[in-house]
């Protein structure tokens, strides 16, 4: 499956006009056209803020800050999703490589890629674009 599935197959649906109004040009390019922000430029690659990372398109909770780690890649990296059912995996053969693309299962937004070179407990590295995420910080109250 790709992020360009017919809207009827997704639980959360937006028109192109709604998406262009809701998202910045970079967020639109990353989430809707499988773009990638440059390494070390996204707002979350080195943040230590505690909280929950949500899909910037549909607001579904995707990753917990407790599962975030410094991978040295320049993108926010996580060992696992909050729930595997919230992430869809798709074979990506662009740029002469074979990778596993990750999409938000609810809305089809491109998030990034997952690799099998991560730390325990999963051995996976979910390498995400900051532009596809929205961090909701945990309250100190």
Q: Cα dihedral angle (36, 108, 79, 99), rounded to 10 degrees? A: -60
- Residue 140 has what pLDDT? 61
C-alpha distance from residue 15 to each of 18, 29, 53, 114, 136 (Å) = 5, 15, 23, 28, 25
From the list 55, 58, 104, 127, the catalytic residue is: 127
- Residue 9 has what pLDDT? 66
Output 10 or 86, whichever has higher pLDDT.
Answer: 86
Q: Decide if 104 is catalytic.
A: no
Cis check for the bond before 121: say yes or no (omega within 30 of 0): yes
* Domains detected in the chain: 13-137 (2.170.150.20)
> pLDDT tens for residues 70-103?
999 999 999 999 999 999 999 888 878 888 999 9
pTM for the structure as a whole: 0.88
């Amino acid at each position: 499956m790709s992020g360009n599935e017919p809207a009827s197959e997704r639980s959360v649906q937006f028109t192109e006009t709604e998406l262009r109004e809701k998202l910045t040009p970079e967020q639109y390019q990353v989430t809707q056209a499988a773009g990638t922000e440059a390494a070390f430029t996204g707002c979350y690659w080195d943040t230590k803020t505690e909280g929950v990372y949500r899909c910037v398109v549909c607001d579904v909770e995707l990753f917990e800050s407790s599962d975030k780690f410094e991978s040295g890649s320049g993108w926010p990296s996580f060992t696992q999703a909050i729930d595997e059912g919230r992430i869809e995996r798709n074979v990506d053969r662009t740029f002469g490589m074979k990778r596993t693309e990750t999409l938000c299962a609810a809305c089809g937004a491109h998030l990034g890629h997952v690799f099998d070179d991560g730390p325990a407990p999963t051995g996976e590295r979910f390498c995400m674009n900051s532009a596809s995420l929205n961090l909701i910080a945990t309250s100190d109250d």
